[in-house]
Structure 1
Amino acid sequence: MNPLSANTVSVILSSAGLKAVRRNHPWLYSKGIEKINRQGNSGDIAVLYDNKRKFAGIGLLDIHSPIMVRVLHSGKPITLSKEWLSEKISESIVRRASLINDSSTTGYRLVNGENDQLAGIVADIYENTLVIKLDSTCWLPHLDKLTNIFISLVHPERIVLRMSRSVKEFSEIADGTVIFGTKINQPITFTENNIQFYTDPAEGQKTGFFLDQRNNRLIAGKLSKGLNVLNVFAYTGGFSLYAAAGGAKSVASLDISKPALEACGDNFRLNGFRTPHRLICGDAFEEMEKLRKNGEKFGMVIVDPPSFARKQSDVNGAFKAYEKVNRIAVNLIEKGGILAAASCSARVSAEEFFNIVLKVCRASGRKFSELERTGHAIDHTAGFDEGSYLKCIFVRFD
């Protein structure tokens, strides 16, 4: 087996770095490095040693990120080869067998980066379109190998390349480029629990859709029968469509993005839903306050905001934002109604988030009962602390 790269760097780990590698943490920062034998380039193989020159792990160097090494393996020595990489990706795909074999769902995540021991790579499938998203420049030199592996294992009609902001500037290929197969010349659709969605893998957020909320959408849909449902931060209407499919009396989708709401309307038409559907374009906090002042009430309010804490200094502000948005939401819920509150902020723990939501519920002075708490779906499992971000709670008010 030939190594992924002929270029290697030798890294002597600090005591902190060694501890991190031994507990299988996928990120190695500069403070975890005692010494490195040469400068190196992104994509070089980084062989990690303890201070006695004993092998500790192996990964890929990223000279453009605070995370200097994406650790791919720790323990006994291995050769970081195309064959090894193919086997790891294959194992990741096999773990999704229940989704792959479910004909009602054709959109899901095949590789979840660090959580599948493949730091810096995400791969999502939408019907026959595979999207590879790179979150580290360490994979740019190995893109051809990655592409060939996915072609061999998945047999997609096309592959679209997406990159995080920190990677785009170092790539010779533009973000959203079809790097294999036929060009995108018509809207791409996929199904999720027999509900159809349009997706834009070349320019949409993430890889084109928020696949991680599939299970929570299903729960919300089952609770929506006969209710007037408000979906806040609706984007292209994931929760809204599940509510309509679940028999909601009416659905209101609120988002600040007009194009996202237009796509939401397109998704309703794609499914042929006749559920009364109102689009509300504007700031979520302001529009919810308007609804409250107008005396509107809903049988279910779904609050699924973007991350309020993108960096550590945002955390206190995030606590306040979660409290505020859910407080307004509770004021919009009718007797017997349901709050579905979600968070995708990794820096806000599940315990912290649930405590905030329950604090708001208690402060309302209303009797309530907790229905369910959820975390990550099978294709978005969290393999390390920083990879755990998604949580949702369902609460019914008497």
Structure 2
Amino acid sequence: MKTERTYPRAVVTPKAEAALLRGHPWVYDAEITALDGTPENGGLVDVVSKKDRYLGTGMYSEKSKIRLRLVSRNANDSFDSAFWERKLRWAWDYRKAVLREEDLTCCRIIFGEADGFPGLTVDRFGPILSVQVLSVGMEVRKELLFPLLVEVLRQDGQEISGVYERNDVALREKEGLPQYKGWFPLPGKTVPDSAVTEIVENGVKYLVDVENGQKTGFFLDQKFNRQAVARLSKGRKVLDCFTHTGSFALNAARGGAAHVTAVDVSESAVEMARDNARRNGLENTVECVCANVFDLLPSLEKQPRKYDFIILDPPAFTKSRATVANAITGYKEINYRAMKLLPRGGFLATCSCSHFATEEKFIAMLHAAAHDANVQLRQIEARQQGPDHPILWGVDETSYLKFYLFQVV
């Protein structure tokens, strides 16, 4: 029996209704035609069509252009502690289903909209959860959600020593939220002495600095793409561009590469890559170099061929539609240079982690780069982010990582 709703109601445009019915969870400010009641910032609002059809219940943001983010499409949900615990347990059970047991100690547990927690990211690095809260609705519920998640994991034999908030991102300001980072106080637990911990991924050991590392501390989404690179690396001379802390380079070395050159423009990242190479006993195979890839690749053209496998894992060249054209130019430059450097029969791994550089645009760029480099590409694999970063159909924003393995023929 349908329960009586007591939340404010937002009437939305037919365009918003169609998007919600396709599965997208957002309602923009301009799509609300009427608001019955006075919602609290971060509070819940029922969303209805002009014909009073119930479309879902979402969290209200008074500052953001994304005015409502749906968390349920069930008119009978009560949104109590049991509701949120159930959703957390679903997210964890999903990871247990799609990952190997050894991968569960370092994985993404909550991937925002794809898990029904809009604006929330939770990454696990051993005993530490690194969290990022990008919506006011999740901000006002974190006091409930974080202890609940720790308890869900504890009941499954997974002990968590601390939750570290990486809320030092400008995107929070669009929600009217301050930037900061620090430990979240868990009831009954002492704050850990350090935000640095060791993880093991694909058999490679890394020291992860949750407080100061990029994003939440470490990029987990390429886990299985690194395995694919390792399988192709045996006996090869590998150039890993934009290496960050050396993850692709180390996987290539463990895969039996003859030699790996790991390059990054950041001296601190290069030093971390060196530390990780020593940590895994691979310092004699992996050479870490501080250089600008855009300068390095052209300079290598003037030298005898040194590499037969090149990996391009750049940071996101664009974070908005306005700069996509410039980003595609950047992607084309490094891919063109890499294709020119590789011998016939050489291998190329190339990717983009920008949602706005769509797969269609990325593929067109690769065709253009291959044409200009006068090479033909034989596709080995087309891959995406790992399954702990699930792609929710109907929510294009959850699909962002494009990863291709080619042989130059």
TM-score range, shorter chain: over 0.9
**How many Å apart are 1:83 and its aligned residue?**
1.4
Match of 1:162 among 143, 160, 166: 166
Equivalent of residue 386 in structure 1, options 397, 403, 409: 397
Write the deviation string for residues 109-154 of structure 1: whole angstroms up to 9, x where unpaired: 1111111222111111111111221121222211110112112112
| Residue 68 (structure 2) aligns with | 69
Contact 1:225 1:246 in 2 (8 A): yes
The whole-number CA distance in structure 2 between the counterparts of 1:165 and 1:115 is 22
Pairwise mapping of residues 316-327 of structure 1 onto structure 2 (< 5 A)? Answer: 316-327=325-336
Stretches of structure 2 lacking an aligned partner (at least 5 in a row): 155-159
Counterpart among 298, 308, 314 of residue 307 in structure 2:
298
Q: Is the 1:104–1:194 Cα contact (8 Å) retained in structure 2?
A: no
Q: Which residue of 2 aligns with 1:29?
A: 28
Deviation at 1:185, TM superposition (A): 2.5
Per the alignment, residue 213 of structure 1 pairs with 222
Shift, 1:297, TM fit? 2.7
Q: What does residue 146 of structure 1 align with?
A: 145
Structure 2 distance, partners of 1:36, 1:375, is 40
Matched residue, 1:365: 374
In 2, Cα distance between equivalents of 1:211 and 1:374: 15
Comparing 123-132 with 286-295, which one deviates more in the overlay? 286-295
Instruction: Find the aligned partners of 1:186 and 1:316 in 2 and give their Cα distance.
Output: 38
How far did 1:75 drift? 5.0
| Matched residue, 1:264 | 273
Identity %: 26
Query: Counterpart amino acid of 2:330?
Result: A
Structure 1 spans left out of the alignment, 5+ residues: 1-5
Shift of 1:333: 1.5
Checking the alignment, whether the CA contact within 8 Å between 2:195 and 2:209 is kept in structure 1 is: no
Contact between 2:11 and 2:47, CA under 8 Å: does it hold in 1?
yes
Find the aligned partners of 2:33 and 2:209 in 1 and give their Cα distance: 44
SS at match of 1:386: helix
Residue of structure 1 in register with 2:408 after alignment: 397
Contact 2:113 2:119 in 1 (8 A): yes
Match of 2:49, as an amino acid? D
Residue 172 of structure 1: how far off its partner (Å): 7.1
Partner of 1:313: 322
SS in 1 for 2:388: helix
Measure the CA separation in 2 of the matches of 1:23 and 1:85: 24
| Aligned equivalents of 2:236, 2:100: Cα separation in 1 | 32
Cα 1:39/1:165, change in 2 over 3 Å: farther
- Would the alpha carbon gap of residues 348 and 100 (structure 1) be closer, same or farther in structure 2, given more than 3 Å must change? closer
C-alpha distance after superposition, 1:141-184 (max 9, x if no partner)? 11110112112112311111122323279557831334334324
How big is each residue's C-alpha offset from its partner over 1:335-386, in whole Å with a ceiling of 9 and x where there is no partner? 3210101011111222321232133224322344211111232101111212
Shift of 1:219: 0.4
Structure 1 CA distance, aligned partners of 2:58 and 2:105? 32
Number of positions where the alignment pairs a residue of Structure 1 with one of Structure 2: 393
SS of residue paired to 1:334: coil
CA RMSD, Structure 1 to Structure 2 (Å): 2.2
Go from structure 1 to structure 2 and tell me whether the alpha carbon gap of 1:305 and 1:101 turns closer, same or farther (over 3 Å shift): closer
Alpha-carbon contact 1:161-1:179 (below 8 Å) kept: no
Distance 1:357 1:275 in 2: 34
**Is the 2:172–2:178 Cα contact (8 Å) retained in structure 1?**
no
Contact 2:172-2:179 at 8 Å conserved across structures? no
Structure 1 match to 2:213: 204
Is residue 185 of structure 2 the alignment partner of residue 179 of structure 1?
A: yes
Residue 157 of structure 2 aligns with which residue? Answer: none
Letter matched to residue 130 of structure 1: L
Equivalent-residue separation in structure 2 for 1:132 and 1:27 (angstroms): 22
Distance 1:255 1:176, change over 3 A: farther
Residue by residue over 1:219-267, the C-alpha shift from the partner in whole angstroms, topping out at 9 and shown as x without a partner, is: 0011111111111111111101101111111111111111111111111
Alpha-carbon distance change, 281 to 7 in structure 1, aligned in 2, over 3 angstroms: farther
Task: Map Cα deviations across residues 282-311 of structure 1 (whole Å, 9 max, x no partner).
Answer: 322112222223344311111111112211
Change (3 A) 1:210 1:244: same
Where does residue 124 of structure 1 map in the other structure?
123
In structure 2, what residue type is equivalent to 1:211?
L
Change (3 A) 1:286 1:37: same
Q: Post-superposition shift, 1:194?
A: 1.3
**Please, which of 314, 318, 332 is the counterpart of residue 341 of structure 2?**
332
Give TM-score scaled by structure 1 length.
Answer: 0.92
Match for residue 353 of structure 2?
A: 344
Cα distance between partner residues in 1 of 2:30 and 2:342: 49
